[in-house]
């Protein structure tokens, strides 16, 4: 009887394991706000609702953003920036204050549905040289107590978004392990997450693997199959996402948590700024990723068990992001800065192709270009000045405006600065080398932007009312002139 009982025990153990791990994946987005052309948060929330996006990950707890999310039904992950970890880790009072100001005040009827608090953002990144390592766990312990005091610990989970460089593999996924200096802290962290019902959150970027290595097989970054699969014993990997994911699974297994649920905090593909960053590649990757994850196929080490959630990076372009890693950093968005979809994409949420933002408060349709009647030989310093403030990354190699010629480059730089300055007439002077035009100078795929108004109080139809007002004024002036004749 021992063998049947053992078999039964193994069956129920396997069944319970899959019940714990198996959850239909949900697709969410990252909403970053490092832009000088910010859409009103209410417009962004309406955009997400229009596209049936039910989950959003934030990098901070911006009151204006959270205010706009009230009553939306969208599940929210708010973030504590790395530079706040020291204060929260060292002071229970600071932790209580942060939770009170950024979580509790919104958790009311008709408020914001906050489900996660992200403690730092990739705090174990190699480039930080251990600056935040010792702060993460103390911060989490204080925050957990603060949530408990606010009666929210049973509803809101703490997570730590980790970069994939927290683990490594010599050659194949099954050899995955956390970096030696992180083994102890990761064991403690994962134990904490596990005891509180939180997933392990990881950011996976096959694009960066391709960008950083000339030897990386391009087709391995996508999901159509690869002519260079990775063979790991009986398991064969045809795409980098699965290989990276299972490297993490192996690393978790080595510290005793092989069944830990995993969520993807960031994953995506930029549309320009590098040779491999373009609209067709971004669409192929993101559509392939969505189809792959929502198929519930899982990975070789977790067949039938997809990530619990994936958050696409990102919703909108952010032209103020640091471009030290590359110009592509400002072009990860599914949408351009103004909420216009860059390419057709089905998020698998029963809503068809991406829908564009509505009621975008654009500035007037006018642009700043190089004055065609002026000698432009002395323009170099003006262009450098314009691009030191505004975003000119689309002009560089791998950008959509890279081939518009010298005068086109000058005009693009002038206009970017002009729109950044909210179309201040003085900002198009450039010592007489710039001129304002009402004809769109965009060329092919190179779009000359029109900025967004700072005014969030714009109303639908205000432009029509202004036009009617000017027409009425013109009629009055005309009649008076006519009467005087």
210 vs 41, 99, 169, CA distance in Å?
Answer: 34, 39, 17
| Residue 62 neighbours by CB under 8 Å, 6+ apart | 33, 41
8 Å CB contact between 20 and 259 = yes
Give the model confidence (pLDDT) of 271-315 as tens digits.
Answer: 999 999 999 999 999 999 999 999 999 999 999 999 999 999 999
Q: What is residue 24's predicted lDDT score, i.e. its pLDDT? A: 57
Give the model confidence (pLDDT) of 337-358 as tens digits.
Answer: 999 999 999 999 888 999 999 9
CA dihedral 66, 200, 317, 443 (to 10 degrees): -150
Per-residue pLDDT tens listing for the chain (485 residues): 444 443 343 333 333 343 344 445 789 999 999 999 999 999 999 999 999 999 999 999 999 999 999 999 999 999 999 999 999 999 999 999 999 999 999 999 999 999 999 999 999 999 999 999 999 999 999 999 999 999 999 999 999 999 999 999 878 999 999 999 999 999 999 999 999 999 999 999 999 999 999 899 999 999 999 999 999 999 999 999 999 999 999 999 999 999 999 999 999 999 999 999 999 999 999 999 999 999 999 999 999 999 999 999 999 999 999 999 999 999 999 999 999 999 999 999 888 999 999 999 999 999 999 999 999 999 999 999 999 999 999 999 889 999 999 999 999 999 999 999 999 999 999 999 999 999 999 999 999 999 999 864 433 333 433 344 334 434 343 344 334 43
CA angle 414, 415, 418 (to 5 degrees): 90
338: how many CB neighbours lie within 10 A of its CB?
21
Say if strands 235-237 and 230-232 run parallel, antiparallel, or are unpaired: antiparallel
Cα–Cα distance measured from residue 146 to residue 229, given in angstroms and rounded to the nearest whole number: 47
Cα–Cα distance measured from residue 248 to residue 202, given in angstroms and rounded to the nearest whole number: 9
Q: Which residues are catalytic?
A: 122, 266
351: how many CB neighbours lie within 10 A of its CB?
13
CATH of the domain spanning 16-330? 3.20.20.80
Q: What is the CA radius of gyration of the chain?
A: 26
User: Looking at the chain, how many residues does it have?
Assistant: 485
């Amino acid at each position: 009887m021992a063998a049947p009982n053992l078999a039964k025990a193994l069956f129920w153990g396997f069944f319970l394991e899959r019940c714990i791990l198996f959850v239909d994946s949900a697709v969410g987005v990252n909403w970053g706000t490092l832009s000088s052309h910010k859409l009103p948060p209410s417009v962004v929330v309406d955009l997400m609702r229009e596209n049936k996006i039910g989950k959003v990950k934030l990098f901070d707890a911006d009151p204006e953003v959270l205010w706009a999310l009230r009553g939306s039904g969208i599940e929210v992950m708010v973030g504590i920036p790395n530079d706040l970890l020291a204060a929260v880790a060292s002071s229970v009072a600071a932790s209580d204050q942060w939770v009170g100001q950024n979580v509790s005040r919104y958790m009311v009827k008709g408020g914001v549905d906050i489900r996660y608090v992200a403690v730092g953002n990739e705090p174990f990144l190699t480039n930080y040289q251990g600056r935040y390592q010792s702060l993460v766990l103390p911060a989490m312990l204080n925050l957990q107590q603060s949530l408990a005091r606010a009666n929210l610990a049973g509803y809101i989970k703490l997570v730590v978004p980790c970069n994939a460089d927290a683990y490594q593999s010599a050659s194949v996924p099954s050899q995955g392990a956390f970096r030696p200096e992180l083994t102890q802290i990761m064991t403690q962290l994962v134990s904490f997450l596990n005891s509180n019902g939180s997933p392990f959150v990881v950011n996976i970027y096959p694009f960066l693997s391709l960008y950083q290595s000339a030897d990386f097989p391009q087709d391995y970054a996508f999901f159509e199959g690869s002519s260079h699969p990775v063979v790991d014993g009986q398991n064969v990997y045809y795409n980098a996402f699965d290989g990276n994911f299972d490297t993490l699974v192996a690393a978790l297994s080595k510290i005793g948590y092989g069944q830990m649920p995993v969520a993807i905090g960031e994953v995506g593909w930029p549309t320009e700024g590098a040779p491999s960053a373009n609209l067709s590649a971004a669409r192929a990757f993101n559509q392939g990723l969505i189809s792959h994850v929502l198929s519930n196929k899982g990975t070789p080490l977790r067949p039938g068990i997809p990530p619990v959630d994936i958050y696409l990076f990102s919703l909108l372009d952010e032209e103020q992001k640091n471009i030290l890693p590359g110009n592509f950093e400002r072009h990860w968005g599914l949408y351009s800065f103004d909420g216009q979809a860059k390419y057709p994409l089905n998020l698998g949420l029963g809503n068809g192709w991406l829908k564009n933002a509505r009621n975008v408060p654009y500035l007037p349709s006018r642009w700043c270009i190089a004055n065609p009647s002026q000698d432009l030989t002395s323009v170099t310093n003006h262009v450098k000045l314009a691009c030191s403030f505004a975003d000119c990354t689309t002009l560089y190699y791998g950008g959509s405006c890279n081939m518009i010629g010298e005068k086109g480059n000058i005009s693009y730089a002038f206009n970017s600065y002009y729109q950044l300055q909210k179309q201040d007439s003085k900002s198009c002077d450039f010592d007489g080398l710039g001129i304002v035009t009402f004809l769109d100078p965009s060329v092919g795929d190179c779009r000359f932007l029109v900025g967004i108004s700072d005014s969030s109080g714009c109303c639908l139809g205000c432009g029509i009312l202004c036009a009617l007002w000017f027409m009425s004024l013109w009629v009055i002036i005309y009649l008076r002139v006519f009467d005087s004749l």
